[in-house]
Structure 1
Amino acid sequence: MFDLRFFEIYRNADFLWRLAEGAYLSITLSVAAALVGLLAASLLAVSRYAQIPVLKHVAAAYVEVIRNTPLIVQLFFVAFGLPLLLGYQWPFWAHAALGLTLNFSAYFAEILRSGLVAIPKGQIEAATALGLKPHLRFIKVIFPQVFANVYPSLTSQFIFLFLTTGVISEIGVEDLTHAGVFIDSRTFRSFEVFITLTVAYVLIAMFFKGCMLVIDRHYFAWKAR
């Protein structure tokens, strides 16, 4: 009969500490990449929506390249390719942050662009009639509605992308998955280790979902349900 030995994990303070540090790093990198990626995604979406010459083609090409290549390939390129091309060297976690930001921004950009396209033309015409300048139209009229409309999609996409961040362990980042692999290599209790990782990722994803729900109710309460 198969003997479960979870105690080999939770009785070892070093293993628990590694899991806690790995979870903290995974959460921190994901949130930072999402925030910076959302800002970059806004610029990409506006460039395509506003049909800005040259920029719209650059933005479209960027989004297509990122969305049609695996995250692990992007991470290896950022961690090992760019340093050779540009002659710099960052810590592995910084490479992971950059790679995740690039990845997040492309997916968020398409969601935001779909939200921009869905805004009724009458809203833009009304803002123009009020004498608002183009940048104020985006800030005060268009983007609040866009974010309210696409917020559920952004939330789902963020959680999905967070769950794929385990691959950053492949470039040496000591995230949650890396901690699990380390423990497995010491205990040889693969089933128990990866069940623990599964529970940890589920709990973190549920935590993110709860935070997103609070934000939705606080900032988008004005939106008709």
Structure 2
Amino acid sequence: MDLRFFEIYRNPEYLMLLVQGAALSAALTLAGGIAGFLLAAVLAAVRHYRIRFLAPAAAAYVEFIRNTPLIVQMFFVAFGLPLLLGYQWPFWAHALLALSLNFSAYFAEILRSGLAALHSGQAEAASALGLSKRLSFFKVLFPQAVASMFPSLNSQFIFLFLTTGIISEIGVTDLTWAGVYIDSRSFRSFEVFFTLTVIYVLMSFGFKGLLNLLHNRLFKWKVVR
């Protein structure tokens, strides 16, 4: 096989597309992950306290998102909602919304499991100290749930990041889009997609290291046995 990686590495246009695509993929993943986590915290709290009317709606939302493909959600957000509601956003904004909704459902289920695993004495102790239910949740229960489920949240985040390549299907110029574009011009499919594989692997390790650092910073009080 005649491998010509230099046709990619020596072309400034191709290198710039890869750098810009990787940066956009990382930015949308981080933004979607943060927005999804915040929404997931609300969903988990609603389901944990079984708030009337809201808890069934939250459960239905989580199950709906978790049981439909991300690509379908992406197309619905990018092409269905604008027709239904009469607005138009840039494709990257549609992708961010779809990713945030997708992340939130998976994170919410992980957080709900973490809350359910906590000993009931935690809530009772917080109540005995005079903390309101809201303060008890955010100061006592939620941090412990996040700390205990952080490995699962970490793994889920990495997995969802690796699925973000499909946002190129709605015209977002992410890393996968850059690879497809370069392949269509250079006709060096093996070299292009091998390069993309290496970049995705490196970015995954980068995210994993960043999240582990965040864990060590935020949860110094957690004793690992």
Shorter-chain TM range is over 0.9
Per-residue deviation, 1:30: 0.3
Q: Percent identity?
A: 66
Runs of 4+, deviation exceeding 6 Å: none
Aligned equivalents of 1:218 and 1:172: distance in 2?
Answer: 37
Identify the residue that residue 13 of structure 2 maps to in structure 1. 14
2:105 counterpart of 1:106: yes
Aligned equivalents of 1:103 and 1:109: distance in 2?
Answer: 10
Aligned counterparts, 1:54-203, within 5 A: 54-203=53-202
Bigger mean CA deviation after superposition, 136-145 or 13-22: 136-145
Deviations 1:94-124, CA, capped at 9 Å, x for gaps? 0000000000000000000000101100010
Deviations 1:15-62, CA, capped at 9 Å, x for gaps? 000000000000000000000100000000111110001100110010
- Name the TM-score, length of structure 2 as normaliser: 0.99
Equivalent position amino acid for 2:215 in 1:
D
Per-residue deviation, 1:221: 1.9
Equivalent position amino acid for 1:98 in 2:
L
Structure 1 stretches of 5 or more lacking a match?
none
Per-residue deviation, 1:144: 1.2
RMSD: 0.5
User: How many residues end up aligned between the 2 structures?
Assistant: 224
Equivalent position amino acid for 1:199 in 2:
V
Aligned equivalents of 1:53 and 1:207: distance in 2?
Answer: 41
Per-residue deviation, 1:71: 0.3
Aligned equivalents of 1:166 and 1:97: distance in 2?
Answer: 13
Per-residue deviation, 1:215: 1.1
Q: Give the secondary-structure state (helix, strand or coil) at the position aligned to 2:68.
A: coil
Q: Give the secondary-structure state (helix, strand or coil) at the position aligned to 2:3.
A: coil
Aligned counterparts, 1:6-45, within 5 A: 6-45=5-44
Per-residue deviation, 1:218: 1.5
Equivalent position amino acid for 1:215 in 2:
L
Per-residue deviation, 1:224: 1.2
Per-residue deviation, 1:220: 1.2
Aligned counterparts, 1:211-222, within 5 A: 211-222=210-221
Q: Give the secondary-structure state (helix, strand or coil) at the position aligned to 1:224.
A: coil
Bigger mean CA deviation after superposition, 83-92 or 212-221: 212-221
